[in-house]
Structure formats: structure tokens, C-alpha cells
Structure 1
Amino acid sequence: MIPEDLIKATRPMVQFDGLSLDVLDPGAQAAFWQAALGGGALRQEGPGRLRIDRIPRRPDAEILRLRQVRNLPPDGARVHVDLRLATQEPHALADAGAKLVRSPGDEPWYVLADPEGNEFCAFPTVDDRPPGVFELVVKCESARDLARWWSVVLGGRVEEEGAAVSVIGAPEFPWDFMVFDPVPDPRPVRNRLHWHVTLRDETPKDLIAYGARLISGPDTDEDGWLLEDPEGNRFHARAAGRV
């Protein structure tokens, strides 16, 4: 039998389990993001809670939960997705309700906002790679430190490209990169977009010992514990084996 300490040393602390977006109107936001993501089954998870998953020909963990809230904090896009377009221009996203924030210029991508003002980046097609989300971007003060922290938590390895630092190859992470992009200022308000993980163990004690901060939980619903990483990015963690 493999010793438990060795198993923990060679397995990530958690598995990535999709994203969660705070919204005012779950139905309208679901319609937009189904179009933006290229489909996906929609199901009710509870009052004011919808979930988009099982997107055709996409990774299993490409999940988007929509959680209704009464008030939204300002959106500074501190956490956002980047996606590849199927064409050179984002006409399909505009038709679905996206607003143009910035056209390509010195930076060769569009910045768009969904109907509730959540910004994301859209890259014109340049090769035969499929359209859709390809990275999750986290703006933070210390990109190297936070990337290394999440590489231990999720697995994978760290790669640097200029000032940005990425985690790649994490088991169950659905996209090419989890990018940590340095910015000079601390995060002023909570992120609208955050993520979920499934714990290796029954409680998040190892995560807390490693530097995560417990905010609340466990909840009675599937969200489990609410935690923050060392720079205050919130994420939900549920116990191993819980569906």
C-alpha cells in the first residue's frame, strides 16, 4: 500500500471544478454565455442559481455557475476569461449581447463586456485552433508567488512569459493556461468571477495550513467552504466524493 504522505506529495491538493459568476439576472446571463461558450446544457441548481455544463466537444470542467445576487461590485476584470473567436471579428458575440469595450490596437485582441458589464478578451482566429475559452486570467500584485501557490494547489508547472506567469498542465484544469498577470494595485473589491475546486480530502485543512483563508462554511449546498487565496481571490471548495 502506498503511504498516505506519499500520495499527498504526488497528487494535487484539489481538482478544478469550473467557474462561478455573480449576476443580477441568471436567465439573461445564461442565454448570453451559452452563446459565447458554444452551447452547453442548462440546469437549475437552486433558487437564483443556474449552471451551464456539458458543452459539446469541450473539457468536462468547463462549467459556468450563475449565482443571483442583489448587488454587484464594480467589475475591474481582475478575474476574467480569454477566448478565441471562430472568425476575425466578434460579430456573433455582439449579436448575443456583448458590448465592445476596445478594439485591437497595440494589443491584438478585443475587450468585450457581457450584458452585465463583465469584461473578457476575445482573440481573432489566426490558425486552426478551436474557438472558445483557452485561459483564465487572474490579475494580482505578485504573479510569481501566486502562480507558484496555485501550482501546488492544482498541480501543473509554472512558466514565465514576460511579466505574466502561468500554471499549465494542471490535472482537470480545462484550459491551456491559468495566467497570473501583475498589476500594481491591490484588489479593491471582491471578484464577480471566481472558481470552484474539489478537495482531495474531506475538509480544507491542508489548504488552510498552506495559506488559504477560511471565509465561511461548510454550506449545506454543494458549494462547501468559501476560501480566499493569499491575495484574496475567493474560491469554493467542496469535499471529496461529493456530487
Structure 2
Amino acid sequence: MTPATPDARWLELCMDTQENGPRLGAFWAAVIGGEHRASADDPAGDVVVDVPEGGGIAMCVVPEGKTVKHRVHLDVYTASIADLEALGATVQIPAEESGLGWTVMADPEGGEFCAFLREPDKLPPYRLHGVGIDCVDAEATARWWGERFGVEPVNPEGEDWWTLEKVTHDPVMTLDFAPVPEPKTVKNRVHWDVYGDVAAFERAGATVLWEMPKWITMADPEGNEFCVFPPV
């Protein structure tokens, strides 16, 4: 059952970067159809997109580098794999080898993402169409987040993954929860921020990890980090 009043409202995606510079943000801006905005005080900057509230990516400089496969990754549309390679991406698993409908790629810092081909005339201006989340219990995690956002998770017939639609103001972007055998071992390098009430999240089973002046970092029951900002 979803709550009458959702606990959470989508704010933005965040991506860790070990480089205090524009490279990763500029790459992702070009990939998803956005603009990289940086300053002398914040050279890593942010990816800003011309879509309703909730689009774009905040780039977060961290001291640690990538050590394991991303358990939270981005899915994008592209006209060709070569276009992404020209921007600095590398192919990890071609669709032709996996037999799946996407190519697994890595960004300039080694972060995995999935590329889905679309005809050039059908390529949308905003090309980020999903966030993939690896889970030990995909159904439980999808239902937990569905309850927080006030939407019912969808399980495509015959599939073992679950999806949340229309969580953001972008009608296309989804959160997709897929089962994997391995547990989470390190902090995710991609997470999302929400507006919400920390106490409501705690009552639902989330855990406070650390407090910052403007937000509280929490973990969902699977251990996925997310940040909670006061409602506006």
C-alpha cells in the first residue's frame, strides 16, 4: 500500500567523482543532452538540463575512487555507440555479445552505464531514460521506494525486475530495480536526493548515516545511500 501523502519528492541525481575538475561532468552533460556548469569555487560543477524539476546531475567530489561495479547506474539513449566513444566512453560488454538490448559502457572514471540505441530521428533531447539499481531483493526495495514516492511498482510480465514510473517530473525516466546475487559492500557512487521528512523515513526502516548542515544522508533497507532535504 502506498501512503496517502508520499514521504518523498524527487530532487536530483548525484554522482561521485574523484577529479576536482570538469571532465566527468562535461562528459555526462554531452551524453544526456545537458549543459555543464562549473565555477572557480566548484570546478566539478553540475549537469543542468532543460527539463522539468528533477533533471540533471549534481557532481560530488569525493576522495575515494571506484572499486566495484556500480550498483546504481544510468541508462541512456544514443544514436550510436561510436558517438559515446567519441565523448570518452569505453565499451565493456557489447550488445552483440550479451544478446541483450543494450551495451554496457564505462564513463571516463570507469563508472558503468547502459546505452540503448535509437534512430537519430527518434532520439529525445534529454537522453537519460532510467536509473538501474542492483538489489539482493529487487521486489522489496522497489516496493519500499514505491511507498516513499507514492507510486505502485510495476513488474513486467515474465521478468524478475521491478520499475517505478513517473517518480520525477520527466515522464520517461524510471527507477529500475534488478536482482543480483552479490550484496552491497561500498558506498554507491550514484545516488538520489529527495525532499522529505527524516523521521518518516526512519519509521519506514531507513537509517541515518551522517548529518550535514543542509541535508541528512540516509540508507534504505538495502543500504543504498540517499540524501534528504527539508520539504519546500
Normalization by structure 1: what TM-score? 0.84
Q: CA RMSD in A?
A: 2.2
Match 1:120 to one of 110, 113, 118: 113
Structure 2 unaligned spans of 5+: none
Q: 1:44 & 1:80 partners in 2: Cα distance?
A: 26
Q: 2:180 & 2:203 partners in 1: Cα distance?
A: 27
The alpha-carbon deviation at position 75 of structure 1 amounts to 3.5
Match 2:150 to one of 152, 155, 174: 155
> 2:30 matched to 1:35?
yes
8 Å contact from structure 1 (residues 143, 181) kept in 2 = yes
1:5 aligns to what? Answer: none
Distance change >3 Å, CA 143–CA 135, structure 1 → 2: same
Q: Aligned residue pairs: how many?
A: 224
> 2:103 matched to 1:110?
yes
The alpha-carbon deviation at position 10 of structure 1 amounts to 2.1
Q: 1:109 & 1:171 partners in 2: Cα distance?
A: 23
Q: 2:53 & 2:179 partners in 1: Cα distance?
A: 29
Question: Residues 31-78 of structure 1, C-alpha deviation per residue, up to 9 Å, x if partnerless?
Answer: 11111111225145965652222x13x342112111111212413121
8 Å contact from structure 1 (residues 72, 192) kept in 2 = no
8 Å contact from structure 1 (residues 140, 180) kept in 2 = yes
The alpha-carbon deviation at position 15 of structure 1 amounts to 0.8
Could you tell me which amino acid in structure 2 is paired with residue 91 of structure 1? Answer: A
Residues 203-242 of structure 1 mapped to structure 2, 5 A cutoff: 203-217=197-211, 219-220=212-213, 222=214, 224-241=215-232
Could you tell me which amino acid in structure 2 is paired with residue 116 of structure 1? Answer: E
Q: 2:209 & 2:43 partners in 1: Cα distance?
A: 22
**SS at 1:117's partner residue?**
coil
Distance change >3 Å, CA 15–CA 114, structure 1 → 2: same
Structure 1 unaligned spans of 5+: 1-7
Q: 2:176 & 2:15 partners in 1: Cα distance?
A: 18
2:139 aligns to what? Answer: 144
Match 2:91 to one of 100, 107, 118: 100
Q: 2:209 & 2:190 partners in 1: Cα distance?
A: 17
Distance change >3 Å, CA 147–CA 44, structure 1 → 2: farther
Q: 2:3 & 2:18 partners in 1: Cα distance?
A: 41
Q: 2:40 & 2:150 partners in 1: Cα distance?
A: 29
Could you tell me which amino acid in structure 1 is paired with residue 25 of structure 2? Answer: A
Q: Which moved further from structure 2: 59-68 or 135-144?
A: 59-68
Q: 1:51 & 1:78 partners in 2: Cα distance?
A: 22
2:186 aligns to what? Answer: 189
Could you tell me which amino acid in structure 2 is paired with residue 209 of structure 1? Answer: R
Q: 1:48 & 1:71 partners in 2: Cα distance?
A: 18
Q: 2:133 & 2:85 partners in 1: Cα distance?
A: 24
1:79 aligns to what? Answer: 72
Distance change >3 Å, CA 41–CA 49, structure 1 → 2: closer
Could you tell me which amino acid in structure 2 is paired with residue 52 of structure 1? Answer: V
Normalization by structure 2: what TM-score? 0.88
1:14 aligns to what? Answer: 8
